Amino acid sequence: MAKKPEVIVEETFKEKISIEPLENVMGDRYATYAKYVIQDRAIPDVRDGLKPVQRRIVFSMYKSNNLFNKPTKKCAHTVGTVMGTYHPHGDSSIYEALARMSQDWKVRYPLIDFQGNNGSIDGDAPAAYRYTESRLSELSNEMVKNIDKNTVDMQLNFDDTELEPTVLPARFPNLLCNGTEGIAVALATEIPPHNLREVVEAIIYRINHKTATTEDLLNFVKGPDFPGGGIIYESEGLKNIYLTGRGRIEVSAKAEIVKTKDLQQVVITEIPYKTVKIQLVYEIDKNIHSKSVSGLLEVRDESDWKGIRIVIDCKKDAKADLLLKYLMKKTSLLSS
């Protein structure tokens, strides 16, 4: 009987186990993860004020010639291109970011010109992206202007097939004018929107006066300029957001008291930033029906395409100004 051939097995892999203190390993791994979340997902870049998904949307639309002076394209086209070429993280997050950049009650200066239902101040979601269309707004043209002239660094996309910008040229001061918010690992930011004219005046002053202080610039930028309006109360908290980076902004609804033959009305035409209108109306209605204070009759939402109009009917002999102050304390008519 022939002998079986001898099989020689060579060791090709040696397991290496390194022994290190847990605190060193956790610190190193956590720092790597935190850096990725902060830089590549959650926190905007100070230079263009955009998160990666927003930057990729704007750049992709620019590359697709989906510009302000061209016809709109289906949002499904934009979402698919961004997801397949630059941002493989799911269509819902891309479409949400696209729609948000067009919502003028959330964004002071929209970067996207939207056609179709892009949601509402009542918290309604946008229509499905197969039904809606969009293009870059005229202002977005300033965000990408001269990007083809080596004005910014480029990097490879996720599969090394295309180049994408690390930051947009951003001739428009997007971070200050549109504000931003983001929550990352052990880090968060929230910057309110500001008026473009005031910001530009402050920039010009800073260019001409190299030693200008923050307080000097506050002579030009008086405070935030929220897209939905409202009244901002001057306070130390407001000043501190510019001097220290931390502070509190109190914003109230804009209202007037109208007297009619049979009753008085509190008419609200502007509401605080980020307030969902339908929830505000519900809060007011809840206070009316709880009968915790007398004099309130009913509330109606008479808002239309012209703007916000919430009407609160009060009894003829009621002190409408005191009722308004009461509702400010009990509802989202006053927020911070």
Per domain, the residue ranges of the chain are 25-165, 192-248, 252-335
Check residue 50 and give its pLDDT.
94
Tally of CB atoms within 10 A around 64? 16
Check residue 247 and give its pLDDT.
86
> Rounded to 5 degrees, what are φ and ψ at 2?
-70, 145
Fill in the amino acid letter for 28: D
* Predicted confidence (pLDDT) per residue in 76-121, tens digit: 999 999 999 999 988 999 999 999 999 999 999 999 999 999 999 9
pLDDT in tens, the chain (336 residues): 566 666 555 655 566 777 888 877 887 777 777 777 676 677 888 999 999 999 999 999 999 999 999 999 999 999 999 999 999 988 999 999 999 999 999 999 999 999 999 999 999 999 999 999 999 999 999 999 999 999 999 999 999 999 999 999 999 999 999 999 888 777 788 899 999 999 999 999 999 999 999 999 999 998 999 998 899 988 888 888 998 888 888 899 999 999 988 899 999 999 999 999 999 999 999 999 988 888 899 999 999 988 999 999 999 888 999 999 999 999 999 988
Q: 3-state DSSP helix/strand/coil percent for the chain, to nearest 5? A: 35, 15, 50
Check residue 312 and give its pLDDT.
94
- Location of structure tokens 């086209």: 77
Fill in the amino acid letter for 202: A
| Cα 71 from Cα 76, distance rounded (Å) | 15
> Rounded to 5 degrees, what are φ and ψ at 66?
-90, 65
Check residue 209 and give its pLDDT.
94
State how far Cα 201 lies from the chain centre: 24
How far is the CA of 56 from the CAs of 33, 157, 164, 302, in angstroms? Answer: 21, 10, 8, 39
Domain 252-335 has CATH 3.30.1360.40: yes
Angle at 249 between CA 293 and CA 323, to 5 degrees: 15
Check residue 260 and give its pLDDT.
86
Tally of CB atoms within 10 A around 52? 20
Which uninterrupted H or E stretch holds 33?
A: helix 22-37
CATH assignment of 25-165, given 3.30.460.10, 3.10.20.740, 3.30.413.10, 3.90.199.10? Answer: 3.90.199.10
Enumerate the active-site residues: 131
Q: Which residues pair with 112 in a beta bridge?
A: 136
State how far Cα 109 lies from the chain centre: 11
